[in-house]
Amino acid sequence: MESILIVDDEPSMRAALAESLLSCGYRVETAVDGNDGLEKFRREKFGLVITDMRMPKAGGIEVLRGVKGLSPDTRVIVITAYGTVKTAVEAMKEGAADFLMKPFSLDDLELVVKNVMSGPGNGSGAASLSSISSMDGREQEIPLEDRSREIFTVDPKMLSILEMLKTVAKSKASVFIQGESGTGKELIARFIHRYSNRSGAPFVAVNCAAVPHNLLESEMFGYEKGAFTGAAQRRLGKFETANGGTLLLDEVSEMDMQLQAKLLRALQESEIDRLGGREPVRVDVRIIATTNSDLKEIIAEKKFREDLYYRLNVIPVKVPSLRERKGDIIHLAGRFLQKFGIQFGKPAIALSADSRQAITEYSWPGNVRELENVIERAVLICPEKEILPYHLSLDGDGGRRPGPEQAG
């Protein structure tokens, strides 16, 4: 039986955490403050320590350091109501496996504990799979709930994909990410960059579907002054902007065939030609491409070059849809509830049991993006502390309250 030590100076929180984890089958010991926790840990080594961040005598970071000093392999989860990215980064650097920001549901706690306890080795929790940084690798002083570039998952298949990508991230091999819209393909691309040797260099994204075909070439490769009417000065393209780093070609299947040939040459020769330029420019760029289409069908229709596909598809990644990773639905919903609850001044808001069942059974054609939008809308329109199914509007009813004949 796994043993857990809970360190928290608030009796009600300490009791709630202990009761929740006891019901999951863990053996639980509690400590009233940091010093008490460290003393109990010296007497008995626990498999996991959960500690509040702000406590008298010794805070969460002191507990974390003390535990790691006594037993480097013991996993630690930190809990805070005062979180910033700086705080979380400090905890991660000190060896925390994950963190939770108040308010959180007991379901969130149980999922994070399960993930951390079952992870291979030290620090394998959700936070280690979604390090907190900006796109250029610098830490930022922003609220912890602003986690738009993180991947939160407890799904074994997704965790396996992320572990594989951490292994290949340090190579220069091109990665081709396929998945439905809203599954988080760009987040995965940023994850690869974050774990690569290029994490201190730029991560540059270009949406091939959003830029008109006649402008995409200059957007990608840049141009010299006077290259065309309106080119008043030299402009560097995305390849040069990303030099030394990572270039994301989002929805690459939308790229014009003529431009595909120029992209293939750039990948083969590691050089590009600016529009109006006299000589090639050397570039060192790691390419990640994404699509929500079946590229083999597009190749069969002669709309995408097969040789370019094989050049991009060195490391193929298929992102599962949200309906294929049902375990993530409640987990992600909890994260979004926390985010929007704080943002809209409703920190105690939660899903009712019926709402939890509804989101679990729904097919989520828009995937994680749709789930986030649904939770945001529900938090906004719900006047109480509990979100009911009609607040979710999953059947397109516009959030109407059920009539008496429906409510009974």
In one-letter notation, the amino acid at residue 97 is: A
Helix (H) or strand (E) holding 250: strand 246-250
pLDDT at 346 over 70: yes
CA–CA separation, 60 and 49 (whole Å): 10
CA–CA separation, 309 and 90 (whole Å): 41
Q: What is the pLDDT of residues 148-183, one digit of tens each?
A: 456 888 888 999 999 999 899 999 999 999 999 999
H-type helices in 55-181, by residue range? 60-70, 85-93, 106-118, 156-168
CA–CA separation, 220 and 228 (whole Å): 16
Token representation of residue 63: 């507990």
H-type helices in 128-233, by residue range? 156-168, 185-194, 213-221
Asked if 56 contacts 27 with a C-beta cutoff of 8 angstroms, the reply is no
318: helix, strand or coil? strand
What pLDDT was estimated at residue 155?
87
In one-letter notation, the amino acid at residue 368 is: V
Those residues whose C-beta lies under 8 Å from the C-beta of residue 391, and which sit 6 or more positions away, are: 355, 377, 378, 381, 382, 399
Token representation of residue 49: 């320590």
Asked if 10 contacts 54 with a C-beta cutoff of 8 angstroms, the reply is no
- pTM above the 0.75 mark? no
Mean pLDDT lowest among 24-28, 31-35, 210-214: 210-214
pLDDT at 127 over 70: no
Rounded average pLDDT over 356-375: 95
